[in-house]
Amino acid sequence: MKHELFPWLILFLPLLSATVIALFTLRSKTISSLISIGAVVAGFVLTVLFISANGFHVNAETSKNWLSIGAETSKNWSSTDGITGLQVDFGLKLDALSLMMLLIVTGVGGLIHIYSYAYMDEDDSKARFFAFLSLFTFSMLGIVLSNNFLQMFIFWELVGVSSYLLIGFWYGKPSAGDAAKKAFITNRLGDFGFLLGILTIWGVLGSLNFGELQSIFAAHSATLLSAGVITIAGLLIFCGAVGKSAQFPLHVWLADAMEGPTPVSALIHAATMVAAGVYMLCRVFFLLNADALHVIAYIGGFTALLAALIAVQQNDIKRIIAYSTLSQLGYMVMAVGLNGQTAAMFHLTTHAFFKALLFLAAGSVILGMHHEQDIWHMGNLRKKMPITFITFLIGALALSGIPPFSGFYSKDSIFAQCLEQKNYLLFGVAALVAGLTAFYTFRLFFVVFFGKEKSDHAKHAHESSLVITVPLVVLAVFAAIGGFIGVVNYYGSQFTPDHETLTFVQQLMEPLKTPVPMCIGIAVALIGIFLAFSIYKNADTDPLPAKLGVLSTAMKNRFYFDEIYEATFIRAHDTIAAICGAIDRFLLEGFIIGIIRGGTDLSGRGLRLLQTGNLQTYAFLFVLGVALVLYFVLGK
Amino acid sequence: MASSAVTDVLFYAFAALTLLCAVLVVANPFNRNPVTSAMFLVLTIISMSGLFLLLHAFFLAAVQILVYAGAVIVLFLFVIMLLDLKEEQRRRIKFFGAVAGLLSVGLITAIFFKILHHTNLNEHPLPTVEGDTASLGKLLFTQYILPFEVVSILLLVAMIGVIMLSKKDLK
Amino acid sequence: MHVGLEHFLTVSFLLFALGLLGVIIRRNLIVMYMSLELMLNAANLALVSFSRFNDKLDGQVLVFFIITVAAAEVAVGLALIVALYRKRQTAHVEDLNSMKL
């Protein structure tokens, strides 16, 4: 393996950047942002150099022993003599999966960094923003490159922390602070399961290294995959993905996280952080057995449907895209659950392109509209923001799955996977969601870019600067062609050993191999677009609530999940907290501490009486002491 | 031994005088003036030097009178006169203090006497040592020359300290 | 009965006890000092009698040193009392209670 140092550099450059910014250049916006952009762009360049030198199929690990507890021999999974020792490396795993993710994180992340340079220009805390961005990039790269569970978990938590910092970046707004807290706590719930899963894996198999685990599974697949404990471990690990990738029932944080700056939404909530859950599932796919996969598939499908329904009736431009992200993540998770890691990662990659594009374009719209986010205050922006309009259209087409845009290919591979697994229920769900996706995407598109200007801001909207539009164009190019530039080859060769490398034309024609899902996919997308066109072409207000009635209200209110959680979990939690608080205050603090404190106080007062300050008393006591000593030494 | 009868009588006389005067130093039932106490201290010391003479410690007896009855007591009196201590006469000895004192002192004395009673004193039948100036001086300037010099330094230090302490602007 | 070591020691003990009693029951610093001197003298007496009845002169040398040290101590102690009196207008231990809470 050439350039062994490069992956380490790629990983630690953003950390260095975050440290330098935090310690030295917090005063200067420009220097800080340039350092941060430099770190991630350098990471991208190094990744490209590394890949061009080594190819995608390095399949190497570079690691340093980092932590060893107990005996150094690792435990054989089948032995019964208990836990012998824990050995954890700080290692980097380099294969097609991680290298592709590396490209996405540094590439898309780099574009978002550049975009942020302009987007955050007016913010006083721009330097802090870039420090957080760098910290986030470091954590995300850490997840991608980890070669063992513990290291991945640490970076997993770091991602949680840095996303907390970024979502709550405008901490002056109470809603931003609440959203950050919500995101962090919801993630922690999932992470708790993840940690339990990791511990289960270690307890059963005695290793945390992905490579070692994979070979253990390869050697004992029959016994292991039918074991109940492995199902449990798989589901617990899936909990981590549920949190990070915002699957039902922990999906509530993602929409609120839109309180953060738009580049954050693009980086965290489209391209990278939420993808971490899907990535992790693919990384540890070998230990998920049929039962666990079943659960995963249905949760993914349900999330996709739920989020798509909610997205139909949202009015905040970023929230619509956020729910669409949820829905697409549901697709990916569902694909993983249907044994389609290739399809999942393929969709993850194309989704990173077009969803980052949509978010950034939405950011551009928001900037042009002077921080107005309600789509019913926009309208007719296509003339005023032509580049944003075109790139947004490309992103919307890709998201809806219209050929030949990237989303079409990846979504089609998921459809095909559903049919291949003969899961017609989930195929139906997927098709319905695809229709809904096209519908709400173009609802947003028509309302924002067509029709009349619905506010003064819309009349005075302007196109954004070049620093913003260039990343849009680059992303738009990838969103357009991402489906047939070989992405699927790299993933395919990672997951299926007998994968044959497809040529360019083969990739282009790949969907034709399975015409049924392709036709259904295109048909539902076109129906969705047509419906959106006919309803929203010139609409000033949303006509749907009148037609759908209660359902619309429920959609608008996100099916009352927040309210349900509020009434059940949070209320229950508050009650428990109140009880604990009361115990702490009255029993511990009042009673026990009262006794101890009061006792000390009382004895202190008692002993103070001995300190009379009177010379005679001291002399008297002194003589008594002398008498005692004399008695014991001489007089007995 | 004719002289032994005389020394016995003298011993009892001096011992009685010493103890009586010491009692009057500590707790004079008629007068609590420090000056009176100091005067009885002089008497105590003089009668003690009588005891020293009986022990053939002639030089020490002289030093006792010179240093104690002379210098130290004069110092005491000087300080008493310097301070206005009439106040003391009005203060009574506290009952509790007296009981506590008697109790503790009694304890210690009881222990002393118990030890004395149980100890087998192998008495020298005829003590011959003489504490005259010549022999004491010889010992002091040969074997004990170093402590002697150290004590002289101590006196010097005490003198300087006292001068410093007695300055008016003592902070 | 012939006067021996135990007689002198008895006197010494009693003298010591009286001095101790004075230290405990008297509240005037100067009288307490005098009581201390009594205790020192009791020790002196014991030492001289030991010296005599053991036929050794070293005890008397020690007494000589004790007298010297006592003289120095009295000088310093009385100077302290004078200084204290100047500040507090009292030589009575009950009035010296600034260390008390």
* Concatenated DSSP letters of A506-548: HHHHGGGGSHHHHHHHHHHHHHHHHHHHHHHSS-SS--HHHHH
Reference B39, options B80, B93, B88; nearest CA is B80
Q: Tell me whether the omega of the peptide bond preceding residue A249 falls within 30 degrees of 0, making it cis.
A: yes
Cα dihedral A530, A533, A535, A536 sign:
positive
**Per-residue pLDDT tens for B139-150?**
889 999 999 999
Q: Pick A459 or A234 by higher pLDDT.
A: A234
Span A304-333, average pLDDT: 86
pLDDT value at residue A616:
77
Reference A307, options A289, A322, A323, A329; nearest CA is A323
Taking the CB of residue A321, how many other CB atoms lie within 10 A of it? 29
Contact C41 B68 (CB under 8 A): yes
Instruction: Quote the strand ranges of A56-178, DSSP E.
Output: 60-70, 85-94
Q: Does domain B1-86 have CATH number 1.20.120.1200?
A: yes
Cα dihedral B133, B134, B135, B138 sign:
positive
Residues 107-146 of B with CB under 8 A from C: 108-109, 112-113, 116, 121, 123-124, 127-129, 131, 135-136, 139-140, 143-144
A626 closest CB neighbour out of B100, B108, B114 = B108
Span A563-578, average pLDDT: 82
Contact C26 B93 (CB under 8 A): yes
Reference A259, options A184, A332, A310, A209; nearest CA is A184
pLDDT value at residue B152:
92
- A317 pLDDT band, cuts 50/70/90, is confident
Span A4-29, average pLDDT: 86
* Concatenated DSSP letters of B40-98: HHHHHHHHHHHHHHHTT-HHHHHHIIIIIIIIIHHHHHHHHHHS--THHHHPPPPHHHH
pLDDT value at residue A464:
74
Residue B171 pLDDT > 60, yes or no?
no
Mean pLDDT of chain C: 85
User: ipTM beyond 0.85?
Assistant: yes
Partners of C97 on chain A (C-beta within 8 Å) are 613-614
pLDDT value at residue A78:
42
* Concatenated DSSP letters of A414-457: HHHHHHHTT-HHHHHHHHHHHHHHHHHHHHHHHHHHSS---SHH
Residue B106 pLDDT > 80, yes or no?
yes
Domain ranges of chain C: 5-95
The rounded distance, in Å, linking the Cα atoms of A269 and A264 is 7
Q: Which residue of C has its CA nearest to B141?
A: C61
Which CATH code of 1.10.1660.10, 3.40.47.10, 1.10.287.3510, 3.30.1360.170 fits the domain covering C5-95? 1.10.287.3510
Span A250-277, average pLDDT: 82
Partners of B24 on chain C (C-beta within 8 Å) are none
Residue C20 pLDDT > 60, yes or no?
yes
Min Cα–Cα distance to chain A from C24, Å: 5
Choose the most confident range, by mean pLDDT, from A275-279, A491-495, C60-64. Answer: C60-64
Residues 42-61 of B with CB under 8 A from C: 44-45, 48, 51-52, 54-57, 59-60
Contact B97 A616 (CB under 8 A): yes
B161 closest CB neighbour out of C24, C76, C86 = C76
pLDDT value at residue A80:
44
pLDDT value at residue B87:
60
Span A311-322, average pLDDT: 84
Min Cα–Cα distance to chain C from B81, Å: 11
- Residue B27 DSSP SS3: coil
Computed on alpha carbons and rounded to an integer, the radius of gyration of chain C in Å comes to 17
Neighbors of chain C by Cβ distance (3+ pairs < 8 Å): A, B
- B86 pLDDT band, cuts 50/70/90, is low
Please say whether the beta carbons of A32 and A26 come within 8 A. Answer: yes
Half-sphere exposure of A617 (CA within 13 A, CB side): 9
Contact B72 C28 (CB under 8 A): no
Residue B1 pLDDT > 50, yes or no?
no
**Per-residue pLDDT tens for A475-527?**
888 888 877 777 777 777 777 666 667 777 777 777 777 787 788 888 888 88
Contact C82 B131 (CB under 8 A): no
Q: Tell me whether the omega of the peptide bond preceding residue A404 falls within 30 degrees of 0, making it cis.
A: yes
Residue B170 pLDDT > 60, yes or no?
no
**Per-residue pLDDT tens for B23-77?**
988 887 777 788 888 889 999 999 999 999 988 888 999 988 988 888 888 888 8
- Tell whether B153 is within 8 A of chain A (Cβ): no
Mean pLDDT of chain B: 83
| Percent of chain A as helix, strand, coil, to the nearest 5 | 75, 5, 20
- Tell whether A630 is within 8 A of chain C (Cβ): no
Mean pLDDT of chain A: 82
